[in-house]
């Protein structure tokens, strides 16, 4: 698809990669509807021509209302960048260093992350594809955001589970949605310079960057190039692109 032909939703568009994707799409001539729980951040970080509305992907009715609104604002809908996500790290079981007590990872933290990264992402795909099917819109394209953490990473059981599921469901959905003329692709970032990583200890970040063969952490533009490929290449479908500088966990 040509970027200028897209009428596309970008979730998690308030800052970081989502804001970058929405901006680059708009600059390329696409119509863009941006959603994020941080509506003030969207107002600050996105061009005026991008349609903006608060969106909590963990609320099913919010997702349905947002997709209906986006379809109306753009006069159609043929794309989704499924980017919204959170991190809530912690060991599943650990020993407290002071008391020696065995501590279990909180169920609420597990469910909160899956509510955004997995269930919310599924709701977005379901509603967007249903709208495309109802309006006989084809071709269409969905780009999911996974992570190289999907291969397994200490202290991220919940995040790993959600991102592994996104990569696997990319294959599933590409097969399910083929009759509707809709492709489903996936991009898996490594370590990327975003507000999430900005809060990391600088020495820890430098040590991590030293393990990346290209010698640096990624930038949102690096990921945009992969997303752009997914959107534009009509023969790319059901696969995940790792954009990680060659890092090995």
Beta strands in the chain, from DSSP E residues, in sequence order: 7-11, 31-36, 51-54, 79-82, 93-95, 102-104, 140-145, 182-189, 240-243
To the query of whether residue 235 is one of the catalytic residues in this protein, the response is: no
Dihedral angle at the C-alpha atoms of 194, 196, 198, 200, nearest 10 degrees?
Answer: -140
- Locus of tokens 């909180």: 106
- 159, 173, 177, 224: the active-site residue: 159
- Beta-carbon contacts of 81 under 8 Å, excluding residues fewer than 6 positions away, are 8, 9, 10, 11, 18, 21, 22, 25, 143, 145, 227
Q: How far apart are CA 186 and CA 178, in angstroms?
A: 16
Q: Answer whether 230's CB lies under 8 Å from 236's CB.
A: yes
The C-alpha atoms of residue 209 and residue 88 are separated, in whole angstroms, by 22
Owner of token pair 């006069």? 75
CA distance 232 to 249: 30
Instruction: Please give the positions annotated as active site.
Output: 159
């Amino acid at each position: 698809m040509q970027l200028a032909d897209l009428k596309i939703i970008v979730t998690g568009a308030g800052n970081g990669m989502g804001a970058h994707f929405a901006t680059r799409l708009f600059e390329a001539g696409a119509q863009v509807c941006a959603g994020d729980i941080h509506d003030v951040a969207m107002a600050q970080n996105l061009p005026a021509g991008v349609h903006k509305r608060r969106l909590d992907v963990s609320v099913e009715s919010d997702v349905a209302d947002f997709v209906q609104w986006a379809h109306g604002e753009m006069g159609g809908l043929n794309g989704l960048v499924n980017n919204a996500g959170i991190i809530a790290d912690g060991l599943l079981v650990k020993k407290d260093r002071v008391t020696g007590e065995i501590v279990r990872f909180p169920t609420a933290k597990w469910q909160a992350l899956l509510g955004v990264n997995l269930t919310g992402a599924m709701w977005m795909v379901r509603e967007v594809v249903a709208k495309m099917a109802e309006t006989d819109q084809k071709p269409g394209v969905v780009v999911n955001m996974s992570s190289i953490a999907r291969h397994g990473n200490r202290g991220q059981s919940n995040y790993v589970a959600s991102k592994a599921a996104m990569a696997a469901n990319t294959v599933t959905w590409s097969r399910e949605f083929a009759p509707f003329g809709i492709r489903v692709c996936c991009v898996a970032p490594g370590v990327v310079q975003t507000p999430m990583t900005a809060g990391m200890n600088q020495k820890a970040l430098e040590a991590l960057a030293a393990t990346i063969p290209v010698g640096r952490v990624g930038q949102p533009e690096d990921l945009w190039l992969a997303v752009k490929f997914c959107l534009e290449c009509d023969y790319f479908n059901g696969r995940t692109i790792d954009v990680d500088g060659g890092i090995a966990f």
